[in-house]
Amino acid sequence: MKEAVREYWESHPNAVNLGTGLIQGSKEFFEAIERHRYTAEPCLQEMAQFPRWREKRVLEIGCGIGTDLRQFSRDGAMVVGLDLTVEGVRMARKGFAVFGLSGDFVVADAEALPFVSDAFDLIYSNGVIHHTPDITAAVSEIHRVVKVGGESLIMVYHRNSYFALVVVQALLIPGIRILLWLFPRGILPRWLRLPMGIKNIYRITFEKGFSQETIFAASTDLSTPGDGNSNPLSHAYSRRDAARMFSAFTSCKSYVRQLYHLKFLPPLLRNWIERRAGWFLFVRAVK
């Protein structure tokens, strides 16, 4: 499974599609991705508190193309970016070079971090360890390499969210089951107008076999049918799961954020829903 995870992210570095039409690796390319990220997901800045880590040692696990890591570096932190993929690290390095920032990078596995114990003031990880086969090993490594009194800020998908419960469980899973029952040969009729994402998930479940795990994983990234083109693994966690997973830390708080939809609602109501049923579960744990 680890190899399938690595292969998938090697050929799908996160958010690269948001720079489509721009020269990959150019300043404009990285700026477009950055603009989109902090407009669509403002909770990242709120949670990461980039300026707070000035002159501190920060490790980002699963840095991908390095968008958040650049913010830590710009704000004066001494940063290390780690990713399972050669391509993620190559692009993160490129982004740092383009903006004249300094940082160290390593291709490695979150489940076996190549650092001595008590090495970092902050371990940051956004949307990563829910894709690794052994999340318990990853959390135990995070606990080992963060300093005593240091912090970890880890975002994983939220199980009790509108996305997991309504979009995936209530709509997508039964919908795909019905499509496979109506059209068991893996071909949808042309007259059936469905969003491309749903057509892709139908094809993926046709190829891999129907399972809730396959549908959930494919729905959490831009998966397309064909060899190695669909996200092989995603998990989601509740706040209680998070408290259990991070119980070795001295203290642990969790925060729920991120609603991509419901923009028409009054802000107060939208905030209320976001803080209970948002898609991102941030865990802030102190060792």
Q: Counting contacts by CB under 6 A, is residue 85 touching ligand SAM? A: yes
Supply φ then ψ for residue 268, to 5 degrees: -60, -45
CB closer to ligand SAM, 103 vs 127? 127
Q: Which of residues 105-124 bind ligand SAM (CB under 6 A)?
A: 109-111
Structure tokens at 174: 């039964």
Beta bridge partners of 157: 236, 280
Q: How far is the CB of 272 from ligand SAM (least distance, A)?
A: 26
Q: Total binding residues for ligand SAM by CB under 6 A?
A: 22
- Residue least distant from ligand SAM (Cβ): 64
Q: Counting contacts by CB under 6 A, is residue 127 touching ligand SAM? A: yes
Q: Which of residues 63-82 bind ligand SAM (CB under 6 A)?
A: 63-64, 67-68
| 91 close to 65: Cβ distance less than 8 angstroms | yes
| Distance between CA atoms of residues 87 and 77, nearest Å | 24
CB closer to ligand SAM, 96 vs 206? 96
| 64 close to 15: Cβ distance less than 8 angstroms | yes
Q: Counting contacts by CB under 6 A, is residue 103 touching ligand SAM? A: no
Q: How far is the CB of 177 from ligand SAM (least distance, A)?
A: 27
Q: Which of 141, 156, 131, 135 minimizes the C-alpha distance to 7?
A: 131
Q: Which of residues 19-48 bind ligand SAM (CB under 6 A)?
A: none
Residues 20-26: contacts with CB under 8 Å, at least 24 apart: 25/91, 25/94, 25/95, 25/98, 26/98
Structure tokens at 94: 């490129």
Of positions 88, 95, 103, 232, contacts ligand SAM by CB under 6 A: 88
Which residues of the chain form contacts with ligand SAM (CB under 6 A)?
A: 5, 9, 14-15, 61-64, 67-68, 83-85, 88, 109-111, 126-128, 131-132
